[in-house]
Amino acid sequence: MPLLKISLAQQNFTIGDLSGNIALMTAAAQKAAAEGAAMVVFSELSLTGYPPGDLLYEAGFLARIESALADLLAATLATPGLHWVVGVPLGRTGAGKALENGLLVIKDGQVVLRYAKQLLPTYNVFDERRYFEPGAELAPILTLGDTRIGFMICEDAWNDAGRDYPVNPFTQMAAAAPDFVVTLNASPSDIGKRGQRHALFAAASRRHNLPLLYVNQVGGHDQLVFDGASFAVTPQRGVVFEAPRFAEAVVTLTFADGAFLDAAGQELARVPAEGLSVMAFYHRQIVLGLTDYARRCGFQRVLVGSSGGIDSALTLALAAEALGAENVTAVTLPSRFSSAGSVEDSVTLCANLGVRLLTHPIRDLVTTYEQGFADAFGLPLQGLALENLQARARGTVLMEYSNHFGDLLLTTGNKSEISVGYCTLYGDTNGGLGLIGDLYKTEVFALSRYLNEVAGRELIPAAIIDKPPSAELAPNQKDTDSLPPYPVLDTLLKVLIEGERLSAEEHDPVFAEYQRLTAGAEGAALVARIRRMIYKNEYKRRQAPPILRLRPRAFGSGRQMPIAAKYA
C-alpha cells in the first residue's frame, strides 16, 4: 500500500467566530499542504466552535453559517488537491430538529463527502439533542488512491460497549472495512479523561481491527476546557502517537500497511501511559481556562480579594501565571476581626508574586451598617448576619473596583465550601469566574505546594499553607467550628457529589475511606448532615459565577439539581 500523509489540526477555535475559525483552518491547511498531506482533519463543529449552544437559535446565526460555508469552500481552493475534514452544523428538512451535527470533506471548493453524527449525548455537560437530529445509520467511507478512510464524530465512537445507545456505529464501520477511521472530537478534559479515551479507543481498535485517528479541539470555553491531546491508535500497538496537551498543534502522520508513522515514514516513539500528574493537570487546565476566558471576554486584567488565606493565595498565583503579574491586582479588606498575620501574609504573598496589593479597610463600612440596622429595626446586628455583612461589604468594594477600572473579579471559593454553602451569597461569591471552584480544599493545599515545588521557591508563603483555615468573620473563628476536618469532609463530598463518576484512580480508595468514616451511628449522622447541607445550598450555587471544570462532575452544567425539592 502506498504512503498516505494526513495532518491532525488541533486548534483553539472560538465559539461564534466563524471567520476567525476559517482563518485558523486555512493556516493549518497550508502547513499540511506544505508537508505533503493528502488530508487535514479538524475537530468537531470546528466552524462554529464547540459547544455553540443556543447561538444555534439566534436570529441570523444560521445565515452566518451558510455564508461561512461558502467562504470555507473558497478557502480550500488555495490548497489544491488537499482534502479538508471540517465539523459543521448541517441543515436538514423534514420532521425533527433543523440541524445535524455533521462533517464535510471538501476538496478544491467541492464537497466530496457529508456525514451527520448518529449519537447525540445529553448527559453531564452535553445537551446536543436539544439542537440536533441524529444522522442516518451509515458508515461514511472516502477512498484516497488505494486507501479507504472511515469517518465518525465523537460520541459515535464512545458506545462500543453498547450500554448507552441501541446503535453502535462501530459495528457498521467495521463491516465497511476501511483501512483506518478518523474521528472528529470536542472532548472536554477532566482528571480521568485522558486514560478513559486511550482505554476506550484502544479496545475498539483491537476489537474491530481498525487503526484510529482521534482529533480533538483545545482551549477554554466558559466552564469547559479542552486539552487537545489528539492521538493515533492501532490494534497491535495501542496508542502510538499523542499530540501536545493544552496547546495548539498541526501534526502530519503517515499511514502505510496498517500502521501510523511519523511524517518521514519512521516508527513513532512510545506514548507514556502515565501522562501528567494530577496536580500538573490541574495547574495547566486552570491556566489555559483563565487565559482563554479573559481573552474571549475582552479582559486584560483581573482582580482578587486577598484574605491572607490559602484560597485567595492560590487564585492569585494562578492568575499571575496565566495573565502576567502586571495584569493582576490584589486588594486586602481587613475588618476588626482580621488578624495582623493575615494582612502581613497578603503582603508577603504579593511581593513573592510581583502582584500589586491595595488596602481598603471595611471596619467603618461595617460599623455604619450595624448602626443603620439597629436604628431601623430596633435590634443589634449580630451572629451570622454580622458575619455575612462583612463578606458582602468586601464583595461590594471589589465589584466597585471592577466596575470602575474594568478588571475581571475572580471569585475564590473551593469545591468543599461551595458544596456545603460555607460562603456568602453576594459576598465572597461575587465575581465573573472561579478558578478553584472544582478543587476540594485538600486539593487546594496540594496544588499550592505543587506550585511552590515547580517554582523552586515560596510563591505561596508557608505561613499561608500552614495556618488553620478561617473566614475571620468572628473572634478566633476556625472553619472546623462549623465543618468536619477537610480530609474527612472531602472524602464524604467526593462520594456524595461525584460517586461513580470519580476517576478510576480515585474511586476505590475514596470509597474505602468513605466506608471507614461512615461506619456506625456517628458516621451515618455525619453523612446525613453533610447531605442536607449540600441540598440546602443549591440556590447559592445556582447564583454563583461559572467555575472552571476540572473533575468528572463539576457544579454548573455538569450537575443540574432542582432548588425547590424534597431530597429525603
Which CATH number fits the domain 4-271, given the four candidates 2.40.128.20, 3.30.10.20, 3.60.110.10, 3.30.499.10? 3.60.110.10
Looking at residue 474, its pLDDT comes to 62
Determine the Cα–Cα distance for residues 315 and 435; give it in Å rounded to an integer: 7
As annotated, the active-site residues are: 44, 117, 154
Determine the Cα–Cα distance for residues 185 and 44; give it in Å rounded to an integer: 5
Residue 468 has pLDDT above 90, yes or no: no
How many CB atoms are closer than 10 A to CB 113?
Answer: 16
Residue 360 has pLDDT above 60, yes or no: yes
Kindly list the domain boundaries of the chain, sorted by start residue. 4-271, 280-477
Residue 318 has pLDDT above 90, yes or no: yes
pLDDT grade for 66, boundaries at 50, 70 and 90: very high
116-135 per-position pLDDT tens digit: 999 999 999 999 999 999 99
Determine the Cα–Cα distance for residues 256 and 266; give it in Å rounded to an integer: 11
Which CATH number fits the domain 280-477, given the four candidates 3.50.50.60, 3.40.50.620, 1.20.1440.120, 3.30.930.10? 3.40.50.620
410-440 per-position pLDDT tens digit: 999 999 999 999 999 999 999 999 999 999 9
Looking at residue 472, its pLDDT comes to 59
Q: H or E element: which one contains 313?
A: helix 310-323
Q: List own/partner pairs for 462-471 with CB under 8 A and 24 or more apart.
A: 463/341, 463/345, 463/348, 464/308, 464/309, 464/310, 464/313, 464/345, 464/349, 465/310, 467/309, 467/310, 467/341, 467/345, 469/309, 469/310, 469/441, 470/309, 471/387, 471/391, 471/422
Residue 518 has pLDDT above 80, yes or no: yes
Tell whether the torsion through CA atoms of 145, 148, 153 and 158 is positive or negative: negative
Q: H or E element: which one contains 104?
A: strand 99-107
Query: What is the pLDDT averaged over residues 480-486?
Result: 83
Q: What is the CA angle 147-243-72, rounded to 5?
A: 65
Cis peptide bond prior to 51, omega within 30° of 0: yes
Portion of the chain with pLDDT greater than 70, in percent: 98
What values do phi and psi take at 225, rounded to 5?
A: -125, 130
Instruction: Report residue 111 as a C-alpha cell.
Output: 464537497
Query: What is the pLDDT averaged over residues 449-474?
Result: 87
Is 308:332 a contact under the CB 8 Å cutoff? yes
Is 107:76 a contact under the CB 8 Å cutoff? yes
Residue with cell 468514616: 517
Residue 529, C-beta contacts closer than 8 angstroms, at least 6 positions apart:
none
Q: The whole model's pTM is what?
A: 0.94
Is 152:182 a contact under the CB 8 Å cutoff? yes
Q: Give the bridge partners for 250, in sequence order.
A: 9
Please list, residue by residue across 444-471, b when 16 or more beta carbons sit within 10 angstroms of its beta carbon and e when fewer do.
bbebbebbbeeeeeebbbeebbebebbb
Looking at residue 471, its pLDDT comes to 60
Query: What is the pLDDT averaged over residues 487-516?
Result: 93
pLDDT grade for 473, boundaries at 50, 70 and 90: low
Residue with cell 482563554: 292
Determine the Cα–Cα distance for residues 136 and 153; give it in Å rounded to an integer: 13
22-54 per-position pLDDT tens digit: 999 999 999 999 999 999 999 999 999 999 999
Instruction: Of 278, 355, 368, give the one whose Cα is nearest residue 323.
Output: 355
Looking at residue 163, its pLDDT comes to 87
- The per-residue DSSP string of 256-308 comes to ETTEEE-TTSPBPPPPPSS-S-HHHHHHHHHHHHHHHHHHHHT-S-EEEE--S
pLDDT grade for 476, boundaries at 50, 70 and 90: low
